[in-house]
Copies of this chain bind each other. A is one copy, B any other.
């Protein structure tokens, strides 16, 4: 299912240079199989929207259309509804961000905010520093704008400051421009780790000292399982940090409402870029969110989500602990949707995937989260969507596959499978 260079496409010589970087994922076809109900999917990053009280949402939508239908159905401002922007201030206040409604740009999901920030900052060849591994949708955006993606090492507390400093020095010594440092500080996708307060301060200080904009992506920040939500990096620097947030995980992904909080000059550019991209975000979706925030106990609903995901996280971790063969390790997420698993030496998560799917369990191989082909020994496990019992069954099946794989490797020295996956590709949205 590759798309480049088909002689059947009469327009193949007419595409922009950037279109060459747009490639379909080589594992897409496999995931079409993996979406069958008998397969336990630990692959997708779909929030469990079933935890939302649907009656409440129905009442919200009804009231909105009856009371403000002419506005909800009309074009709106390119920057987003002003009341919603005020309400977003309350939401980001939970992670310590203080801002003005003018600082906020509402987008069609925070993916669009990522796209707009990259559009505004990055010329082809500009470098973006990203964690290793990083969010596959961000890698896709950076690729689409022909950025050079440079990975920076992580540890159990996320992005490693020394590695960040070193990367800045190395990239600059090579005469290249670094435009953005992209980080997911809380409940990382896919790594499942979280930066502590001291770590955040160090990273911010490095970005400030280097004069590089820090792009803080925080879709999971309110979905922690322990204590208060981590304080956002943006809370400590309004001029140097662009903060991205989303209602996809705290309300519903299908609404496609996210936002950027950006310094004044950047925000002006983002609004113009947004108007060129979509004219304006959907008033219908925005006002649904606004009405929901105004009339429903949204903080309580987030607590409900936290409980749902914590129970699933526990099911995953307990099963992994009980069932995984020696040499397998994984991260312990304190929030969010994902754990990052490292296979025993000699195993290859991409090569193993067809056999996992044959054994009715799916995951995302680690290579998808690297721009450089790294991550073959890793895979991402999502616990957000399946019920706890399904998660346990999925881990059981996965453990069996890994055991078999280990036997193959011990017997033949290798385990046959898919050809190596190179480069970044954007998987279908339900895999993110």
Contacts and interface: CB of A to CB of B under 8 A. Distances in A.
Interface of A: 3, 6, 8-12, 14-19, 22-24, 46-47, 49-50, 52, 54, 57-58, 61-62, 65-66, 69-78, 108-109, 111-112, 115, 119-123, 126, 137, 140-141, 143-145, 179, 213, 239-240, 248, 252-256, 263-266, 268-269, 272-273, 275-285, 288, 426, 428-430, 432
Given A9-B264, A49-B74, 6 more contacts: A22-B273, A77-B430, A111-B278, A112-B277, A137-B275, A272-B426
Contacts of A72: 254
A254 B282 contact: yes
In order of increasing CB-CB distance, the 5 nearest A-B pairs are A9-B265, A73-B252, A254-B283, A22-B272, A256-B282
A201 B6 CA distance: 29
A216 B376 CA distance: 45
Contact of A275 (B3, B71, B426): B426
A74 B278 contact: no
Given A14-B121, A16-B121, A66-B58, A282 B279 contact: no
Given A77-B428, A254-B283, A54 B58 contact: no
A141 B109 contact: no
A180 to B, nearest CB: 9
A428 B275 contact: yes
A8 B254 CA distance: 38
A120 B15 contact: yes
Contacts of A76: 254, 429-430
Contacts of A278: 108-109, 111-112, 115, 256
Contacts of A263: 9-11
B121 A22 contact: no
Nearest to A272: B22
A18 B116 CA distance: 12
Contact of A69 (B11, B57, B432): B57
A281 to B, nearest CB: 7
A128 to B, nearest CB: 12
Contacts of A429: 75-78, 275, 279-280
A240 B263 CA distance: 43
B73 A140 contact: no
A420 B32 CA distance: 56
Given A108-B282, A426-B276, A24 B137 contact: no
Contacts of A256: 108, 278-282, 284-285
Contacts of A122: 16
19 contacts: A3-B269, A8-B265, A11-B213, A11-B263, A14-B179, A16-B123, A49-B69, A49-B70, A57-B73, A58-B62, A62-B62, A75-B432, A76-B430, A112-B278, A115-B276, A254-B284, A276-B426, A279-B432, A280-B429
B73 A255 contact: yes
Contacts of A24: 268, 272
Contacts of A52: 69, 73
A179 B123 CA distance: 21
A73 B70 CA distance: 22
A132 to B, nearest CB: 20
A111 to B, nearest CB: 5
A109 B275 CA distance: 11
A187 to B, nearest CB: 18
A432 B280 CA distance: 11
A54 to B, nearest CB: 4
Given A254-B283, A255-B282, A273-B22, A73 B58 contact: no
A17 to B, nearest CB: 5
A268 to B, nearest CB: 5
Contacts of A58: 61-62, 65-66, 69
B253 A15 contact: no
Nearest to A147: B16
Contacts of A73: 49, 52, 57, 252-255
Contacts of A12: 265
A347 to B, nearest CB: 29
